[in-house]
């Protein structure tokens, strides 16, 4: 009996004090100062908010529950783009104000992606048109998704030359 109690004590001690930091982090709440780089994706819509704010974990829990329901609806409707289950992605969230409305923006990328930047510190932006990357925009005031887009279009950054503007050759640069 003494050995059984000692064995149970050791097992329970290991369980209670096991290292939980080895769990993979999937959700990153971005600070306000990272907002501009997070919403300036080069292969999906770019937003120019008036201000940014940090979302809460409670807001993310609510949004992700609603997002999963929305994705299930897209699947039933046989939509053109239906992301994989959320567990397949890491994601970054930021809140912002735009035209008097409050939004939560989510940036989703494959959890197995070999990233150049640390997602806890920097916005993850893929300009290669990788369709496994996608984003969502949730309008808090209307309590509805405003957009769910994958990385499959080229968005011209502000100040960039549009190739359609010149006929034969690009203008020479100084």
| DSSP string over 28-85 | EE--GGGHHHHH--SSS-----SEEEPPPHHHHHHHHHHHHHHHHHHHHTT-S--PPP
Give the mean model confidence (pLDDT) for residues 159-163: 47
Burial grade of 64 (CB within 10 A; 0-12, 13-18, 19 or more):
middle
Cα–Cα distance measured from residue 80 to residue 154, given in angstroms and rounded to the nearest whole number? 18
Q: Which residues pair with 91 in a beta bridge?
A: 27, 108
Is residue 132 situated within a structural domain? yes
Q: Could you report the per-residue pLDDT of 54-108, keeping only the tens digit for each?
A: 999 999 999 999 999 999 998 999 888 888 999 999 999 999 999 999 999 999 9
Average pLDDT, the chain: 80
Residue 164 in domain: no
130 assigned to some structural domain: yes
Q: What pLDDT is stored for residue 131 in this prediction?
A: 81
Based on C-alpha coordinates, what's the Rg of the chain? Answer: 21
Does residue 12 form part of some domain?
no
Local structure of residue 2 (DSSP, 8 states): H
> What number is the average pLDDT over the span 134-158?
83
Q: Quote the domain boundaries for residue 141.
A: 25-156
> If DSSP states are collapsed to H, E and C, what string results for 86-150?
HHHEEEEEEEEEECCEEEEEEEEEECCCCCCCCCCCCCCCCCCCCCCCEEEEEECCCCEEEEEEE
Question: 114 lies in a domain?
Answer: yes
The answer to whether the beta carbons of residues 2 and 30 sit under 8 Å apart is no
| Domain presence at residue 119 | yes
With CA atoms as reference, report the closest residue to 59 among 26, 94, 86.
94
Contact 140, 130 (CB under 8 A): no
Which pLDDT band, with edges at 50, 70 and 90, does 174 fall under? low
Task: Give the pLDDT mean for 151-155.
Answer: 68
In a domain, 4, yes or no: no
- Provide the domain count of the chain: 1
Residue 167 lies in a domain: no
Q: What is the pLDDT of residue 16?
A: 41
pLDDT band at 166 (very low <50, low <70, confident <90, very high): very low
CA distance linking residue 107 with residue 103, whole number of Å:
13
pLDDT at 141 over 80: yes
Q: Summarize pLDDT for 10-54 with one digit per residue, the tens.
A: 444 443 433 334 467 899 999 999 999 999 888 888 889 999 999
């Amino acid at each position: 009996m003494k050995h059984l109690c000692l064995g149970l004590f050791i097992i329970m001690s290991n369980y209670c004090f096991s290292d939980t930091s080895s769990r993979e982090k999937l959700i990153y709440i971005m600070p306000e100062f990272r907002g501009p780089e997070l919403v300036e994706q080069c292969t999906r819509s770019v937003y120019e908010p008036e201000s940014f704010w940090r979302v809460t974990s409670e807001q993310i829990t609510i949004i992700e529950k609603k997002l999963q329901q929305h994705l299930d609806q897209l699947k039933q409707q046989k939509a053109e783009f239906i992301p994989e289950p959320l567990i397949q992605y890491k994601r970054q969230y930021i809140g912002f104000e735009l035209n008097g409305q409050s939004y939560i923006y989510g940036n989703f990328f494959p959890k197995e992606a070999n990233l150049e930047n640390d997602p806890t510190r920097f916005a993850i932006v893929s300009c290669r048109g990788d369709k496994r990357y996608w984003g969502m925009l949730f309008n808090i005031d209307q309590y509805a998704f405003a957009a769910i887009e994958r990385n499959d279009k080229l968005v011209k950054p502000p100040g960039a030359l549009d190739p359609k503007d010149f006929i034969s050759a690009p203008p020479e640069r100084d």
